[in-house]
Every structure is written in structure tokens, then in C-alpha cells.
Amino acid sequence: MDSREDRKYPIKILVVDDETAIQRFLKTILEGAEFRVHQAENGRLALAATATVRPDLVLLDLGLPDMEGGEVIRRIREWSPVPIIVLSVRAREDDKVGALDAGADDYLTKPFGSGELLARIRVALRHAVQKVPEPVYRAGDLEVDLGLRKVLVQGKEVQLTPTEYDLLRLLVSHAGKVLTHRQILREIWGSTYLEQPHVLRVNISNLRRKIESNPTRPRYILTEVGVGYRLKADF
């Protein structure tokens, strides 16, 4: 599969932050990883740059001087699927959920390590070029064959209920990306279940018991506390 990481020209990343020190810090990290960096210090310039520069990924702070980052995400999502990773000092669960529900692909709370940031960028870029889910997903001892609707753990087939399989398939198709509780509930059960998170918790618990060697310390289905779940993409 053709990948943005394999292209001959630099991957363009738009950094949206009004703090000069953060801009310099991110520029150093990203250029050190051979990305081409573009910068914007407010929402208006971010929207313009997204349209003109056509970045491969956007790093976005929520606290911009002219508009909320969530509004920037929503406006970009009206016409562009570009991966958006939020970088913010806001650590409250409702801020994370709001950004992800608005259309962000990931959320990192400041301060963060350069290694973690680059890893999240790699995952987001890989996900962006996958037009359809890979026929077979493999991670550790877990194998999910989407074509045959077959799930194997350590080479042995695992029997899932239809709902458990649909839930795992959704996580597989967004591997590495945080899915909020509401996003999952809407996709699997429909909008009438948006205020019933216990339904999701029960099914995640049942699914973990079937695919995790230690369900209390999961390797595959990771919890983003108060936000949602992420299927681990890298081992």
C-alpha cells in the first residue's frame, strides 16, 4: 500500500499555536524528523493555511486567541479529512471528549514527550491513507480477519457475539485512534443509546475477557479514562 511515510517529498504538518516557545519547540522536533513545518498562530490563519497549504496533518492547540480550537476542527471537518491531533494544557475529560467528537483524531495533554508525539503522528498518518480497513489485522497474539469475520487469539478461533464482533471491527478500522463513548454508541447501537454508556462498558468487558490474556491489564483495547477507547496499533 502506498503510504505518506514512503513518499519522496516531505510530509507537511501545520502547527497551530499562539505561543512562540511552543511553536519553536514543535518546529525543532518535527524538522528533526524530516517533516516540513507550517505555522499559524490563530484559528483564522489555521483555516486559511489548511485550505492553501493542504497539510498532511494538523497539530492544534485549543486555546487560540480568536476562536476555540473545537470550532476550528468543526470548520475543517466540513470539507477536509486531514488528520488533526490536539495538543492542549486542558486535561479535563469534557475538553478531550468535545475535541474528539468535533472531529479530532487524537488528543495529547501538554507537557508531552517528543517520542510520544512522533508516535501519535505516525499512527495518524498511517490511518489517513487507509481507504478501507486492511483485510487482516494483526497485533501481538490477536488476529482479526475482516473478510472472513474470524477472530484468532494465539492461533485459536474465538467466538464473539455479533455485537462484540461489530465493536471489535469498529476498533480495528480505527486502530490507534481514540473513539469516544458517544462515537462508539452511535455507530454500534444508534443514537437512542448515546446516554447509555453502561451498554458499551459491559460489551468492552466481555470482549476483553475473550481476547486479552489479562483483561484487568489489557494489551489491545486501551481505556482513555472518561473519554473512550483506543485499539493499540503498535507493538
pLDDT per position as a tens digit, 62-113: 999 999 999 999 999 988 889 999 999 988 888 999 999 888 999 999 889 9
Cell of 129: 491513507
* Structural domain total, the chain: 2
pTM for this predicted structure: 0.69
**Residue 233: pLDDT band with limits 50, 70, 90:** confident
73 neighbors 47 (Cβ within 8 angstroms): no
Same domain? For 18 and 62 the reply is yes
Q: Clarify whether residues 142 and 108 are in a common domain.
A: no
CA dist., res. 27 & res. 20, Å (int): 10
Distance (Å) of CA 44 to CA 2, 9, 39, 62, 68: 33, 27, 12, 13, 11
What confidence tens digit (pLDDT) does each residue in 175-196 have? 888 899 999 998 899 888 888 8
pLDDT score for 4: 43
**What percent of the chain has a predicted confidence (pLDDT) above 70?**
93
Sign, CA dihedral 174-102-74-94, equals negative
Are 124 and 31 contained in the same domain? yes
Distance CA 124, CA 82 (A): 9
Q: Are residues 190 and 107 in the same domain?
A: no
User: Domain end: 128, 157, 176, which one?
Assistant: 128
pLDDT at residue 135, rounded to an integer:
75
One domain for residues 218 and 112: no
CATH code where residue 9 lies: 3.40.50.2300
Instruction: Give residue 104's Cα distance to chain centre.
Output: 7
Is residue 10 domain-shared with residue 95, that is, in the same domain?
yes
What mean pLDDT value characterizes the chain?
89
Q: Which amino acid is at 95?
A: D
* Same domain (yes/no): 69, 148: no
The answer, yes or no, to whether residue 16 has pLDDT greater than 60, is: yes
Q: What is the tens place of the pLDDT at every residue in 120-157? A: 999 888 877 654 455 788 888 999 998 888 999 999 99
Within this chain, do residues 60 and 142 fall inside the same structural domain, yes or no? no
Residues 114 and 25 in one domain: yes
pLDDT exceeds 60 at position 229: yes
CATH code for the domain in which residue 169 is found: 1.10.10.10
DSSP character string of 1-49: ---GGG-SSPPEEEEE-S-HHHHHHHHHHHHHTTPEEEEESSHHHHHHH
Q: Give the structural domain span for 85.
A: 4-128
pLDDT value at residue 171: 93
